[in-house]
Amino acid sequence: MQKILIAISLVLAAAMLLRSDLPVKAQDGGDTIRLDERKLGDINAANPQPTYIFNATANQSVTIDLTAITPQLALSFTVLAPNGALVVAVGNPSEQARISDTLIFPTAGDYTIQISNVSDVEGQFILSLFRPAPEVPAVPLIAGQMQQDFLTQGSKLVFSITAIEESQLELSIASADGRFGLDINLEDEAGETVAFVSNSILRTTLTIPAGNMSYLLTLTNNHPTGEAISYTVKVNMPDAVEEEDQTITPTATVEPSPTGDGEPDLPVLPATGPCVLATRGQIVNVRSGPSTEYDIVATIGAFTIYNVLGRNEDGTWLQIDAVPEIGWVAANVTRQGGDCNSLQVQSYLPLPGSITGTVWHDLCAATPEMIEPPEGCVEVEAGIVEADGIKAAGEPAINGVEVSLLEGACSGATLLNSTISGATGYGFEDVPPGQYCVLVNAASPTNSSLLLPGKWTAPRIATSTAQFNVTVDANENRVVHFGWDYELAP
């Protein structure tokens, strides 16, 4: 809090409290939203019916997608014509986190989209408007086979999956180039969404239960800046039998040991044909990327030959099909056979980084009798001191503050994730290399009762929203601390 060593006008203090970082509203009473734009919004007692204005052309076809990102929040929306007549009302009786509808705007003009809460929870949501993707035929996914391709911005792919009686299936979906923006939707035969993951994943695994049910998996590229996304999709059988594994890997003849010690000799590798490898007789780790800093996803044994799918840039690591996982092994601990000179360089996710920090109470215990600013305080004007914005030992953490991570520069970033600070700080793990914005809004529904009145002193002075641009490199941890100076506390 700002400490005053000489008298100051209460009018100035009131003016500081009235400053806000609220979004600018259109003259007609709602935020404007454009086609192919995603808007982050709040719904709460102070804003019970957020309103957005979309300027449509005549007979324009648009998909309106509304996704609640606060747990247990459920929403509905209505669309009103320029003359105020109802165009469509999209309810949400089952209180799903995501609802959408595609409609054709009959005439040109400003249409109003009104959002309502159908749950007892307040929180945040994302409203998206985009061009409807054309219908595409479903591609069958077969257990053990991986699909890999690119999705351009706004496009989608549909895969069909048939469950089996004997075992559950594991559906693995990943962004192969480290880009966010992939929306994943899994539907059952009745058309009900059984799993939905939006925008902020790099890799996820969904479970398909055993049975005779069929499913549709839809992947949509909703990257906010129009980037193409490389993806991989694979259906795995966790309890696949050994015979099925052997049909995928080359056959190797294991001869009895000529020494009679009972240990079989290592398999002989072919001199021609596709590139294959085997170990030098030891157990070898298979990793998710070409480095020992990547996670171990499997191990391979000494007496099986594995197909080589590609290599990294300098050939020091080889990508193999270690059924059911696709992974990387160090070339220098394996033996290679066949034609390995024409292997293609395969893409892989860069090592993720992280962003961590603390939201702390920036203490400044000054009194009017003091002549010099005490430790922890700085004089900002003659006779006026405030907290210095430097995190010092003994200054306590503030628990329960919502911290948000956005992709891109703060001026036009897209929300990726939020977390709550604790006694040991906050953290965002598995952050791909790139530019991000870390943000704390003191006036949000989660934070206002905990923080206000007061102001931010770090990473820079702000009255409501503190935000900081940060660039994360591969395998790097960036630290961003947020200092808060309570107006009514030391």
Task: Identify whether residues 161 and 227 lie together within a single domain.
Answer: yes
- CA-based nearest residue to 403, from 460, 465, 461, 477: 465
Q: How far is 237 from 214, CA to CA, in rounded Å?
A: 16
CATH number at 64 reads 2.60.120.380
174 located within any domain: yes
Task: Identify whether residues 227 and 194 lie together within a single domain.
Answer: yes
* DSSP state letter for 95: -
For 87, residues 6+ apart whose C-beta sits below 8 A from its C-beta are: 78, 79, 80, 81, 103, 105, 106, 111
Task: Look up tokens 């929300």; give the residue.
Answer: 415
In this structure, the number of other CB atoms found within 10 A of the CB of residue 10 comes to 8
Q: How far is 69 from 223, CA to CA, in rounded Å?
A: 17
Final residue of a structural domain among 102, 130, 158: 130
Residues of the chain with pLDDT under 50: 4-28, 239-262
Task: Identify whether residues 372 and 439 lie together within a single domain.
Answer: yes
Specify whether the CB–CB gap between 116 and 125 falls below 8 A: no
Which range of residues forms the domain containing residue 85? 37-130
Final residue of a structural domain among 130, 148, 182: 130
**Cα of 117 vs its chain's centroid, Å:** 25
pLDDT 10s digits, 71-93: 889 999 999 999 989 999 999 88
Final residue of a structural domain among 200, 224, 240: 240
pLDDT of residue 246: 29
Q: How much is the pTM?
A: 0.46
pLDDT of residue 67: 87
Q: How far is 58 from 68, CA to CA, in rounded Å?
A: 30
Task: Identify whether residues 293 and 201 lie together within a single domain.
Answer: no
Phi, psi of 210 (to 5 degrees): -65, 150
256 located within any domain: no
Residue 127: both structure tokens together: 């409203």
Q: What is the dihedral of CA 258, 264, 265, 266, to 10 degrees?
A: 180
Specify whether the CB–CB gap between 396 and 359 falls below 8 A: no
Specify whether the CB–CB gap between 453 and 20 falls below 8 A: no
Task: Identify whether residues 365 and 479 lie together within a single domain.
Answer: yes
pLDDT of residue 178: 65
Task: Identify whether residues 358 and 480 lie together within a single domain.
Answer: yes
Task: Identify whether residues 196 and 314 lie together within a single domain.
Answer: no
Task: Identify whether residues 126 and 151 lie together within a single domain.
Answer: no
CATH number at 285 reads 2.30.30.40
7 located within any domain: no
pLDDT of residue 228: 78
Strand partners, 229: 151
Task: Identify whether residues 362 and 476 lie together within a single domain.
Answer: yes
455 located within any domain: yes
Task: Identify whether residues 302 and 377 lie together within a single domain.
Answer: no
Cβ burial 351-374 (10 Å sphere, 16+ → b, else e): bbbebbbbbbbbbbebeeeeeebe
Q: Which helix (H) or strand (E) holds 321?
A: strand 317-322
Cβ burial 403-441 (10 Å sphere, 16+ → b, else e): bbbbbbebeebbbbebbebeeebbbbeebbbbebbbbbb
387 located within any domain: yes
CATH number at 445 reads 2.60.40.10
Q: How far is 90 from 78, CA to CA, in rounded Å?
A: 6
179 located within any domain: yes
Phi, psi of 449 (to 5 degrees): -70, -20
Task: Identify whether residues 381 and 287 lie together within a single domain.
Answer: no
345 located within any domain: no
6 located within any domain: no
**Long-range contacts, stretch 486-490, CB < 8 angstroms, 24+ apart:** 486/1, 486/361, 486/451, 486/453, 486/454, 487/1, 487/2, 487/453, 487/454, 487/455, 488/1, 488/453, 488/454, 489/1, 489/361, 489/454, 490/1, 490/363, 490/364, 490/365
Whether the CA torsion 74, 195, 193, 182 is positive or negative: it is positive
Specify whether the CB–CB gap between 457 and 451 falls below 8 A: no
Strand partners, 344: none
pLDDT 10s digits, 124-180: 988 989 887 666 688 888 777 778 777 887 778 888 998 887 778 888 887 776 667
CA distances from 364 to 5, 260, 284, 391 (A): 13, 81, 57, 12
For 460, residues 6+ apart whose C-beta sits below 8 A from its C-beta are: 389, 466, 468
Task: Identify whether residues 317 and 193 lie together within a single domain.
Answer: no
Query: Per the structure, how many domains does the chain have?
Result: 4
